[in-house]
Amino acid sequence: MQTVTIKVNGETFTESVPPRLLLVDFLRERLALTGTHVGCTHEGVCGACTVHLDGDAVKSCLMLAVQADGHDITTVEGLAKGEELSALQRAFREEHGLQCGFCTPGILMNMTDFLKHNPNPTDDEIRQGLIGNLCRCTGYVNIIRAVQQASQVMQGEAP
Amino acid sequence: MFPANIEHYSRPATIDEALATSARFEDGEAMFIAGGQSLMQAMKSRMTRPRCLIDLQAIAELRGICPDANALSIGAMTRYATIAADERLTGYFAALRDAASHVGDRQVRNRGTIGGSCCWNYVASCMPAVVLALGAEMQLRAVGGASRSVAAEDFLIAPLETARAEHEILLGLRFQAPAGRGGSAYQKWGLVKDALPVVGVCVAVTLDAAGRCASARVGLAGLSAGAHRATAAEQALLGSTGDAAAIAKAFDAAATAADVQGDKWADMAYRQNLIRTLGQAVATSAFARAAGSKE
Ligand SMILES: Cc1cc2nc3c(=O)[nH]c(=O)nc-3n(C[C@H](O)[C@@H](O)[C@@H](O)COP(=O)(O)OP(=O)(O)OC[C@H]3O[C@@H](n4cnc5c(N)ncnc54)[C@H](O)[C@@H]3O)c2cc1C
Ligand code: FES
Ligand code: FES
């Protein structure tokens, strides 16, 4: 067992964990933050487990919890400010960017990071940015629309 | 799925400390972890079961891209995302950006490293073919501080096999800058966009004062032999001006000479055709970059 101190959505947690515990299992099972999903076995191809590690979108199934020791993690539960959804979350609701919702947390986390780097993307750039996230329901069209809408709203909001 | 039991995990701040930790374990028991984008898959599927994991993430001196007049140095722990975003990598080094910006997906590029890719040397992977074409020198350090430099083609022995010794750390890669004008490019074709290469081709050329090809190196990715040079294409490009006929001839030769095995997704003729079409596109772009094109 190893003691780790990890900041998750602004709150600091100190836990004793076995080194082999995956970061995604730490989030889901230790912290009961079950918004982060697991969609594949060992390949790391579905993106449902995407979180931010110090601001960058990464797959939490391809990391150990001990590797996050001393770092800052944001999960989908950390996107809203209290009851107020982020612009991207609102856009997913308004543009029907989800059906079953299994892929949605990972896509929100990836696209939040994406929009930070590319605030005014083309549809093609969004498609390219979504390669690491599988959605088996929507066909992606409304997801792209939602990201576009959020980009416009966020640019309007920016000072 | 999750890894088999790991008894010891540490994240040293220095290379020496990492080497010393590794040396405390028997051969095969300790593994370095970089971005984990291959190793985590292997551990979760129980293909590998290290007793000890040594995380290289906290060693600052293993990171960074440093171009000078004579050479380009890239630290082993430099992430794909960092390489893809570095606008100084043009001309002779442009292939590094071509490859880094299309490895996997954004999340993989945010973690995966150039050093990890070369040390893993997966049968279908992008960076090994690029570092072969660019003639990288792989810089290694062993316990006790002994350093050595190994040419990429001697380092990349076969799929999942490299010249890196047990307990040795890859520090970085050094690429000699070309004497005159140079250009390179990389492209791949995968089963889905930005996937592992079914075939990938990297071409690096230099031009003499008259605009003729003074040196050419071609790296092939995705074939069962792993990353290797296509010497038939290299010889055919030498002396040419990069005209369409010369380039077509070079990649006909490469497709004929390559040991190509088909599978149910891409048969032999299809893969040979990929070598031709990707090779032609990439060589055209490498010559244009050598001649000063910014694209
Ligand atoms: C979804 C997905 C898509 C992918 N798509 C592509 C693709 O399109 N093209 C492609 O080429 N690859 C692809 N990959 C593979 C990826 O590029 C990895 O091979 C690469 O990231 C490995 O680097 P790493 O830093 O993650 O290394 P790790 O996985 O941490 O390590 C790999 C191996 O190298 C050793 N090692 C790492 N660094 C050092 C060092 N400095 N010194 C000594 N030993 C070291 C480790 O011990 C381990 O054995 C993909 C991976 C995923 C998960
Ligand atoms: S669970 Fe599928 S990528 Fe992590
Ligand atoms: S909404 Fe069901 S998988 Fe994307």
Residue B295 lies in a domain: no
Distance A20 CA to ligand 3 centre (A): 29
- The answer, yes or no, to whether any atom of ligand 1 lies below 6 A from the CB of B116, is yes
Whether the model clears a pTM of 0.90, i.e. scores above it, the answer is yes
* A110 close contact with B: CB closer than 8 A: yes
**How many Cα atoms occupy the beta-carbon half-sphere of A71 within 13 Å?**
20
ipTM: 0.97
Place of tokens 């697991």: A38
Number of the ligand closest to the Cα of A138: 3
Average of per-residue pLDDT across B169-198 = 96
Same domain for B163 and B223, yes or no, is no
Q: Is the pLDDT of residue B240 over 80?
A: yes
Say what the pLDDT of residue B154 is. 98
Q: Do B45 and A66 touch (CB under 8 A)?
A: no
Same domain for B150 and B233, yes or no, is no
Residue B272 lies in a domain: yes
Same domain for B244 and B168, yes or no, is no
Same domain for B223 and B164, yes or no, is no
Same domain for B159 and B64, yes or no, is yes
Same domain for B105 and B44, yes or no, is no
List CB contacts of B262: < 8 A, sequence separation 6 or more: B268, B269, B270, B271
Residue B216 lies in a domain: yes
Domain count within chain B: 3
Residue B252 lies in a domain: yes
Which of A100-114, B32-46, B280-294 comes out lowest in average pLDDT? B280-294
CATH number of the structural domain spanning residue B38: 3.30.43.10
Say what the pLDDT of residue B69 is. 86
Residue of B nearest to A132 (CA): B105
Q: Do A62 and B37 touch (CB under 8 A)?
A: yes
Chain A contacts of B11, Cβ < 8 Å?
67, 69
Interface with chain A: mutation pick from B32, B105, B120, highest number of A CBs within 10 Å? B105
d(CA B133, CA B218): 5
Residue B70 lies in a domain: yes
- The answer, yes or no, to whether any atom of ligand 2 lies below 6 A from the CB of A47, is yes
Among the candidates B140, B158, B176, a domain finishes at B176
Q: Return mean pLDDT, chain B.
A: 97
Q: Phi/psi at A141 (nearest 5 deg)?
A: -60, -50
Q: Return mean pLDDT, chain A.
A: 97
Residue type, B189: W
Distance B115 CA to ligand 1 centre (A): 8
Cβ atoms within 10 Å of B236's Cβ, excluding its own: 23
Average of per-residue pLDDT across A86-95 = 98
Say what the pLDDT of residue B295 is. 64
What length does chain B have? Answer: 295
Say what the pLDDT of residue B175 is. 98
Same domain for B160 and B243, yes or no, is no
Among the candidates B176, B209, B243, a domain finishes at B176
Task: Give the minimum alpha-carbon distance from B87 to chain A in angstroms, rounded to a whole number.
Answer: 15
Residue B1 lies in a domain: no
Say what the pLDDT of residue A32 is. 98
Residue type, B137: E
Residue B245 lies in a domain: yes
List CB contacts of B46: < 8 A, sequence separation 6 or more: B1, B3, B4
Q: Is the pLDDT of residue B188 over 70?
A: yes
Among the candidates B128, B160, B176, a domain finishes at B176
Say what the pLDDT of residue A158 is. 64
Same domain for B114 and B206, yes or no, is no
User: What DSSP element (H or E) covers A150?
Assistant: helix A141-157
Chain B contacts of A66, Cβ < 8 Å?
9
Domains of chain A in start order, with CATH, are 2-78 (3.10.20.30), 87-153 (1.10.150.120)
Say what the pLDDT of residue B293 is. 78
User: What DSSP element (H or E) covers A73?
Assistant: strand A72-74
- The answer, yes or no, to whether any atom of ligand 3 lies below 6 A from the CB of A103, is yes
Tens-place pLDDT, residues A122-135: 999 999 999 999 99
Residue B3 lies in a domain: no
Task: Give the minimum alpha-carbon distance from B226 to chain A in angstroms, rounded to a whole number.
Answer: 20
CA proximity to B10, closest of A60, A23, A19, A7: A19
Average of per-residue pLDDT across B97-119 = 98
* Domain range for B48: 8-55
Q: Is the pLDDT of residue A159 over 70?
A: no
